[in-house]
Amino acid sequence: MKKFGFWGSSGIFGLDAEKLLMLIEDESIEVAAVLLSKIDVKKAATMLGQMPGERARRITYAVSLTNSVTPDAVDRIGRSLITQLDDEPILAFTNKPEERLGAILNSSRSVTRDELLDGLDEADQTFAAEVRKAIFTFKHVAERVDERDVPAILKSVDNDTLVTALASATDEATKISAEFIFANISSRMAEQLREAVQERGQVGEEDGEIAMAEVVTGVRDLAQTGEILLKEGVPA
């Protein structure tokens, strides 16, 4: 294998969630935590949602212990999960475990996210609090986005997705974020969006969560590139 070896797109990264679940089925909690920390966050979120609750909770807690994992350890784990080897050195994790887990839970369904956070609270309240700070969902838009950046966010998301997300904002927290968006765009655009939301009608829970997640992804992408600056996170 070239360049990325067994962790690359032709190795572990190229496997779908179902195959990865099979791959770690008999592995230790610690190995599973390293795997989830390395792969794409959406894929990791899918895996967590398909695991038995107790195992998923134990793995999410184990992510808190991965900060000291060395490149050699990651190399050995990858080598044990897939047979092809790579001569290139493997880099250690560059971000904190709470940031990695927060990113995974950002892409998880709210039911899965809340259940796992409750489990983390029981296992390690300090780590759970840090994870909650790292989480950014649709309900945090009003809290952490500067009102001047709302137009840029709307440009980063296709209109149909935005309408679906706004139409699904039916609980108190998400309604606040929806109204925040309406309040910080032109009155004409706000009126057009409100009409589109009304025409869309009731949105299925899963479709709504997917749309909200895409809006959040747009926000985080803009923040990562420096186009917008998010306010400091508070516990979710």
The string of pLDDT tens digits covering residues 129-168 is 888 888 888 999 999 999 999 999 999 999 999 999 999 9
Q: With 80 as the cut, is the pLDDT of residue 234 above it?
A: no
The pLDDT value recorded for residue 75 is: 81
- Residue 14 in 3-state DSSP? helix
Q: Are 79 and 34 in contact (CB under 8 A)?
A: no
pLDDT: is 180 or 76 the higher one? Answer: 180
- What residue type is 92 in one-letter code? A
The pLDDT value recorded for residue 26 is: 82
- Residue 78 in 3-state DSSP? helix
Which domains are delineated in the chain? 5-134 (1.10.220.30), 138-224 (1.10.220.30)
Least confident of 6-10, 29-33, 149-153, 154-158: 6-10
Angstrom distance (rounded) from CA 62 to CA 207: 31
The pLDDT value recorded for residue 132 is: 86
Residue 5, phi-psi category: left (phi > 0), alpha (psi -120 to 50), beta (remainder): left
User: Which residues 6+ apart lie within 8 Å of 124 measured at CB?
Assistant: 61, 64
pLDDT band at 235 (very low <50, low <70, confident <90, very high): very low
